[in-house]
Amino acid sequence: MITSKKTNIEKLQNKITHLKLDAFLITDPNDLVYLTGIDLSGGYWAVITRKNACLITSKMLFLQLRKLSPEIKVIESKNTVLELKNILKTMKIKRIGFDSQKMMHAVVKNLQKKVNNVIWHPLQNIIEEFRQVKTPEEIEEIRKACKITMNVFKNIRSYIRPGITEKHISNRIMELFYRNNASPAFLPIVASGENTSYPHHLSSDRIIRKNDTLTIDLGAKYNNYCSDLTRTIFLGKITNLYNKIFKIVNNAQKSALFVVKPGIKASFIDKIARKIIASKGYGKFFLHGTGHGVGLDIHEAPGISPKSTVVLKSGMIITIEPGIYLKDKFGIRIEDTVLVTECGYELLTI
């Protein structure tokens, strides 16, 4: 097992002890990757106790999982819930925690009904709290993902021209990711013309025209870790309104970036960007938070939003992405992936 993954399990074990639990059940695919380094799109559950760990999986994945995780006990099971009950009984587990936000309600009810020899403790953000601060190994993977993303964007810029569709560009972006030994962290957003006024537009068959606004939101996933980048460009002669809105959004992003450092509240970063946009009369057209965390998930903690209570720490990786969206006209968003450093920040999407 990679040293950092072993450390991640130990952090959870310390938390289990602190919470006076006997064990913790993990079912979320990316939480499992964080703890074990093994990505099987879920495919297994993990039971972490104060001193030990075991994985429960199907016959189909048993040999593969055992090979990938020689230091953790792997149990083959035809019935995961029944096997879990037996494991907890054998280990004399009485109190077990789980993430109530990441486990479907029906699954929870089934567990509580069938695994009734323990007390179930619903908790939130236990592993997410650990995942917010990246290890040096994680930072390096995200740095590589960002480099691939920037290379793909630079390549796609020369490919964009009037007469091709949004889907055409989106498909080309994905093809380039695969050519660079990566995969898309999410379905690329390619929006043109009035479609740019929708923050999460689904790339369509709309044909790109001369003098269109074009927003491209893309991110590579490399060794399970994501990156995120958005750029808005204009195809043709830049209008006065576009130039005005672009300058406001650009200023909002630069001002938000300027205050990024350890000890700063995430909500304060959002406030800085939002205040600049509102001061120019476009506050109601800023339709989302200023950013989010990036890691194993493309959107994860910490959220950079008005209600966020998170205080930034060195090692967090976030996005800064203010935007203005004018209905039936166009929208502009500028997004970069940023590493919080001991002294401030490092722009990873350069």
Q: Which residues, including other chains, have CB under 8 Å from residue 161's CB and lie 6 or more apart? A: 208
Based on the domain organization, do 173 and 227 belong to the same domain? yes
Q: Which domain holds residue 168?
A: 136-347
Based on the domain organization, do 113 and 153 belong to the same domain? no
Based on the domain organization, do 219 and 256 belong to the same domain? yes
How many structural domains does the chain have?
2
Question: Residue 3: pLDDT band by 50, 70, 90 thresholds?
Answer: low
Question: Residue 5: pLDDT band by 50, 70, 90 thresholds?
Answer: confident
Based on the domain organization, do 115 and 181 belong to the same domain? no
Based on the domain organization, do 120 and 51 belong to the same domain? yes
Q: Residues 77-94: pLDDT tens digits? A: 999 999 999 999 999 999
CB atoms within 10 A of CB 275: 13
Compute the distance between CA of residue 347 and CA of residue 336 in angstroms, rounded to an integer: 7
Based on the domain organization, do 181 and 85 belong to the same domain? no
Compute the distance between CA of residue 220 and CA of residue 144 in angstroms, rounded to an integer: 9
Based on the domain organization, do 144 and 251 belong to the same domain? yes
Q: Residues 26-60: pLDDT tens digits? A: 999 999 999 999 999 889 999 999 999 999 999 99
Based on the domain organization, do 254 and 304 belong to the same domain? yes
Q: Residues 197-240: pLDDT tens digits? A: 999 999 999 999 999 999 999 999 999 999 999 999 999 999 99
| φ/ψ (deg, to 5) at 202 | -95, 120
Q: Residues 95-116: pLDDT tens digits? A: 999 999 999 889 999 999 999 9
| 319: pLDDT strictly greater than 50 | yes
Based on the domain organization, do 222 and 332 belong to the same domain? yes
Q: What are the C-alpha distances in Å from 106 to residues 109, 111, 322, 341?
A: 5, 9, 37, 41
| 193: pLDDT strictly greater than 80 | yes
Do residues 33 and 144 lie in contact, with contact meaning Cβ atoms separated by under 8 Å?
A: no
Count how many residues are written for the chain. Answer: 350
Where a domain ends, among 95, 130, 165? 130
Average pLDDT, the chain: 96
Where a domain ends, among 103, 130, 157? 130
Where a domain ends, among 98, 115, 130? 130
166-179 and 136-157 helices, crossing angle to 10°? 130
* pLDDT given at position 145: 99
Based on the domain organization, do 15 and 77 belong to the same domain? yes
Based on the domain organization, do 152 and 226 belong to the same domain? yes
Based on the domain organization, do 106 and 240 belong to the same domain? no
Share of the chain above pLDDT 70, in %: 99
* pLDDT given at position 42: 85
- The three-state DSSP-derived secondary structure of 214-275 is EEEEECEEECCEECCEEEEEEECCCCHHHHHHHHHHHHHHHHHHHCCCCCCEHHHHHHHHHH
| 2: pLDDT strictly greater than 60 | no
Q: Residues 275-287: pLDDT tens digits? A: 999 999 999 999 9
